[in-house]
Structure 1
Amino acid sequence: MIENRRGLTIFSHTMLILGIVVILFPLYVAFVAATLDNNAVFETPMTLIPGTHLLENMKNIWANGVGVNSAPFWLMMLNSFIMAFGITVGKIAVSMLSAFAIVWFRFPLRNLFFWMIFITLMLPVEVRIFPTVEVIANLNMLDSYAGLTLPLMASATATFLFRQFFMTLPDELIEAARIDGASPMRFFRDIVLPLSKTNLAALFVITFIYGWNQYLWPLLIITDVNLGTAVAGIKGMIATGEGTTLWNQVMAAMLLTLIPPVVIVLAMQRAFVRGLVDSEK
């Protein structure tokens, strides 16, 4: 039975509205700034009424970038997509196969190996990132798509989630497959993959956004402007010293970076929610 308390309802809706305002107001300010020209964006206080230069700013940033040594923003977006998609596909493949091996095969110390993978979650990113950069440099992967994607494909979290899901599969199903002579990869392809669709969708969305939003890693291993990513590129558009930042174009670039993650979330929303619900069972 759900209690209907008017005061609680009003309080809940008030907090919801405040939360929406706190989240959306900065985005609205960024949108307004992206619609202004170079003069209006520097007015104090800046107007909160949208201007008419949004398409102009987006076209300029899309084709030319910002700054003398900046690559076109479409190239940064492409690099970000390649990076995010590569990380997503690689992370899902590595995590699924690792979890499947731990659950399917009976070998000594398999649980120890799993917990050794899982314990990496307790290591801060700052502890691991510089040794990883050194390894990538020794492998001559700096300024490359391989350097952008390969180190971020391993995921203890994804391996843990897939392991927990695979452990819910009935033992009778696994034994029946073994009796019928199904190889591990055939069982994985014909049984496990179809049953994992919702989990795959949820992890795909989360991992794609994770890869798309990478900032520190591209800054550390990429020096070629033609391999720069969108999120890291926006930081490079902000002038230092006595330079002037074209905030209207920076905000236009920020709006462009929102489009791919939003499209992915909207396109896979139902499967994403279903995957999260299934993972909690």
Structure 2
Amino acid sequence: MIENRPGLTFFSHFILWLGVLIVALPLWIAFVASTHSAEQLIATTVPLWPGDQFWTNYSNILTGPASEAVGISVSQLLLNSLIMALGITFGKIIISMTAAYAIVFFNFRFRMFSFWLIFMTLMLPVEVRIMPTFQVVADLELLNSYTGLTLPLIASATATFLFRQFFLTIPHELIEAARVDGAGPVRFFIDILAPLSRTNIAALFVIMFIYGWNQYLWPLLVTTDESYYTVVMSIQRMLAVGDDEVAWNVVMPTTVLAMLPPVLIVIFMQRQFVKGLVETEK
């Protein structure tokens, strides 16, 4: 039985809307600032209502060079970030699924030792191994390439662990039935395990896409050619102008556009994301 307490209901909704306001206010200010000219933003404090430079600011950065520090358009920056994020996402999912599949369904020497070695890499953040990784990428001549942006980041111990935990819940009767029907390891993986894992894949897709999209340090190290710059690292370059005035009419529209893809991914995949975290399909 749920008691009806108007005071408690009002208080909980007030806290909820207050939290929404705190989160949304910086986003609103960024959008408003993206619709004003540089002179207006420098001369006064940031206004609270949109200006009349929306189409001008956004069309300039999407069609022409973003700024003096970044000589390509923001549309190219967004494309580079999208390629990097999708490459990292699909790479992590494919490698993690196959690694978990081998660990759970195949018997070989040092199977669990291999899993714990993979799991131990969770204690090694990217920053710890970034210099040797950079040296390997440089020796392979993968600097200033999409392969160099994505390949070193596609392994994921977290995803391997999550897929392993899910695969352990697969009933042995299903495995035996597939074997009786003549399904080999590849067919069992593609026709049975992959469809059963779709909610887990969806949840990891959202997490890994945001992880890949928000990468800053790695693209900063491996790219010196502007044609491979990503949008997140380019925002920092737009701000590093020394004693000159920051072109906020360029930085703010770029920031708003940089936020859109992760937000859209979360919005359109939120149902699958929640199911992948709280449910297990069998």
Smaller-chain TM-score range?
over 0.9
The farther-off stretch of 54-63 and 236-245 is: 236-245
Matches within 5 A, 1:102-117: 102-117=103-118
Tell me which residue corresponds to 1:92: 93
| 1:33 and 1:50 in contact (8 A); partners too | yes
Tell me which residue corresponds to 1:187: 188
| 1:161 and 1:279 in contact (8 A); partners too | no
The farther-off stretch of 12-21 and 166-175 is: 12-21
Structure-2 separation of matches of 1:200 and 1:271: 9
| 1:38 and 1:246 in contact (8 A); partners too | yes
Structure-2 separation of matches of 1:91 and 1:47: 42
The structural deviation recorded for 1:173 is 1.2
Tell me which residue corresponds to 1:274: 275
Structure-2 separation of matches of 1:99 and 1:188: 11
Structure 2 CA distance for partners of 1:249 and 1:280, relative to 1, 3 Å:
farther
| 1:31 and 1:252 in contact (8 A); partners too | yes
Tell me which residue corresponds to 1:262: 263
Tell me which residue corresponds to 2:83: 82
Structure-2 separation of matches of 1:55 and 1:232: 24
- CA RMSD of superposed structures (Å): 1.8
Letter in 2 for 1:162: F
Letter in 2 for 1:172: E
Matches within 5 A, 1:1-281: 1-64=1-64, 65-67=66-68, 69-278=70-279
| Secondary structure class of the residue paired with 1:107 | coil
The farther-off stretch of 29-38 and 134-143 is: 134-143
Normalised to the residue count of structure 1, the TM-score between the two structures is 0.94
Q: Percent identity?
A: 57
Could you tell me which runs of 5 or more consecutive residues in structure 1 were left unpaired when the two chains were aligned: none
| 2:31 and 2:252 in contact (8 A); partners too | yes
Deviations 1:154-175 (A, max 9, x none): 0000001111111110011112
Letter in 2 for 1:232: M
The farther-off stretch of 45-54 and 150-159 is: 45-54
The farther-off stretch of 31-40 and 239-248 is: 239-248
Deviations 1:1-51 (A, max 9, x none): 444444443332222122111111110110110010121111332221210
| 2:70 and 2:238 in contact (8 A); partners too | no
Structure 2 CA distance for partners of 1:180 and 1:125, relative to 1, 3 Å:
same
Letter in 1 for 2:71: S
Count residues with an aligned counterpart: 281
| Secondary structure class of the residue paired with 1:251 | helix
Structure 2 CA distance for partners of 1:69 and 1:87, relative to 1, 3 Å:
closer
Letter in 2 for 1:29: I
The farther-off stretch of 218-227 and 3-12 is: 3-12
